[in-house]
Amino acid sequence: MAVTDKGQPENLLYVKTLGGFSLSWNGREIAIGPKGRDSQFVRLLEAVIHNREEGVLRSQMEEILFEDREIDDIAHGMRTIIYNARKRLEKEGLPKANYIENIDNRYYWSEEIPVQEDAWEFEAAYNAAENEKDPDVRLRLYLEACDLYTGEFLPQQTRMIWVAQEDRKYRTIYEDCVHNAAALLRMNKNYHQLEMLGRQASRLQPLAEWEALIMEALIALGRDEEARRLYEVTENYYMDELGFKPTFSTVELLERLGNQLEHQYALLDEIQMELSGIKDNMPGGFMCSYPAFRGIYRMIERMAERGGQSIYLMLCTIVDKKGVPMRENATLERLSNKLGDAICHSVRRSDAICRYGKGQYLALLINTTREDCAIVQKRINYHFLTGTQRAGVEYFINSVILTPEGTVF
Most confident of 59-63, 181-185, 385-389, 402-406: 181-185
Position 134 in a domain: yes
In the listed set 259, 294, 313, which residue is the last one of a domain according to the structure? 259
Q: What is the pLDDT of residue 282?
A: 64
In a shared domain, residues 93 and 179: no
Residue 8 Cα distances to 14, 24, 83, 363, 383, angstroms? 8, 9, 28, 61, 65
Q: What is the pLDDT of residue 287?
A: 86
In a shared domain, residues 295 and 379: yes
In a shared domain, residues 292 and 244: no
In a shared domain, residues 202 and 331: no
In a shared domain, residues 84 and 125: no
Position 4 in a domain: no
CATH number of the domain enclosing 332? 3.30.70.270
**Chain centre distance of CA 370:** 44
In a shared domain, residues 128 and 235: yes
Position 333 in a domain: yes
pLDDT at 404 over 60: no
The torsion of the CA quartet 2, 6, 9, 11, rounded to 10 degrees, works out to -90
In a shared domain, residues 203 and 233: yes
Task: Report d(CA 340, CA 354) in Å as an integer.
Answer: 8
In the listed set 83, 113, 143, which residue is the last one of a domain according to the structure? 113
Phi, psi of 354, deg, nearest 5: -150, 150
Full strand arrangement of the beta sheet holding 115-117: 28-29, 22-25, 13-16, 115-117
Position 297 in a domain: yes
Position 314 in a domain: yes
Residue 347 Cα distances to 141, 367, 383, angstroms? 55, 12, 12
pLDDT at 310 over 90: no
Tell me how many domains the chain contains.
3
- Proportion of the chain in helix, strand, coil states, percent, rounded to 5: 50, 15, 35
pLDDT digits (tens, 9 = 90+) for 75-101: 888 889 999 989 989 888 888 888 999
Q: Are strands 392-401 and 311-319 parallel, antiparallel or unpaired?
A: antiparallel
Contact present, 342 and 384 (Cβ < 8 Å): yes
Domain of 37 in residue numbering reads as 31-113
Number of residues that make up the chain: 409
Position 184 in a domain: yes
Provide mean pLDDT across the span 119-135. Answer: 96
Q: What is the pLDDT of residue 51?
A: 95
Q: How confident is the model at residue 308 (pLDDT cuts 50, 70, 90)?
A: low
Full strand arrangement of the beta sheet holding 56-57: 56-57, 106-109, 100-103
Contact present, 48 and 107 (Cβ < 8 Å): yes
In a shared domain, residues 97 and 201: no
Position 231 in a domain: yes
For the chain, first and last CA: distance in Å? 76
Q: How confident is the model at residue 259 (pLDDT cuts 50, 70, 90)?
A: low
Burial of 46 (0-12, 13-18, 19+ CB in 10 A): buried
In a shared domain, residues 130 and 41: no
Task: Report d(CA 274, CA 204) in Å as an integer.
Answer: 41
pTM of this prediction? 0.68
Contact present, 349 and 285 (Cβ < 8 Å): yes
pLDDT at 1 over 50: no
Q: What is the pLDDT of residue 246?
A: 78
In a shared domain, residues 147 and 170: yes
357 bridge partner residues: 360
Task: Report d(CA 45, CA 157) in Å as an integer.
Answer: 13
Torsion sign (Cα): 216, 222, 223, 227: positive
Q: Which of 157-166, 167-176, 272-281, 341-350 has the lowest mean pLDDT?
A: 272-281
Residue 26 neighbours by CB under 8 Å, 6+ apart: 4, 8, 10, 11, 93
In the listed set 84, 113, 142, which residue is the last one of a domain according to the structure? 113
Provide mean pLDDT across the span 295-304. Answer: 84
Alpha helices, DSSP H, located in 243-389:
250-260, 268-276, 290-307, 330-344, 370-384
In a shared domain, residues 68 and 128: no
Alpha helices, DSSP H, located in 117-223:
118-131, 135-148, 161-187, 191-204, 211-220
Helix, strand counts (H, E) of the chain: 14, 12
Q: How confident is the model at residue 262 (pLDDT cuts 50, 70, 90)?
A: low
In a shared domain, residues 125 and 73: no
Position 136 in a domain: yes
pLDDT digits (tens, 9 = 90+) for 346-391: 999 889 998 887 789 999 998 888 899 999 999 999 999 877 777 8
Residue 3 neighbours by CB under 8 Å, 6+ apart: 9, 10
Q: Are strands 360-366 and 352-357 parallel, antiparallel or unpaired?
A: antiparallel
CATH number of the domain enclosing 158? 1.25.40.10
SS3 call for 25: strand
